[in-house]
Amino acid sequence: MIKPVGADALLPLYVDDADARAALEAEARGLPSVVVSSATAANAVMLGGGYFTPLAGYMNLADALGAATDMRLADGRFFPVPILNLVESVDAIDGAGRIALRDPNVDGQPVIAVQQVDAIEQVDDAQIALMTEKVYRTTDREHPGVAEFNAQGRYAISGPIEVLNFSYFATDFPDTFRTAVQIRAEIERRGWRRVVAFQTRNPMHLAHEELCRMAMERLDCDGLVIHMLLGKLKPGDIPADVRDNAIRTMVKLYFPENSAMITGYGFDMLYAGPREAVLHAYFRQNMGATHFIIGRDHAGVGDYYGAFDAQEIFDSEVPPDALEIEIFRADHTAWSKKLGRVVMMREAPDHAKEDFILLSGTRVREMLANGIAPPPEFSRPEVAQILIDYYQSL
Active site members: 201-202
Q: Are strands 291-294 and 195-200 parallel, antiparallel or unpaired?
A: parallel
Q: Are strands 155-163 and 119-122 parallel, antiparallel or unpaired?
A: antiparallel
238-259 as b/e: b if 16+ CB within 10 A: bebebbbbbbebbbeebbeeeb
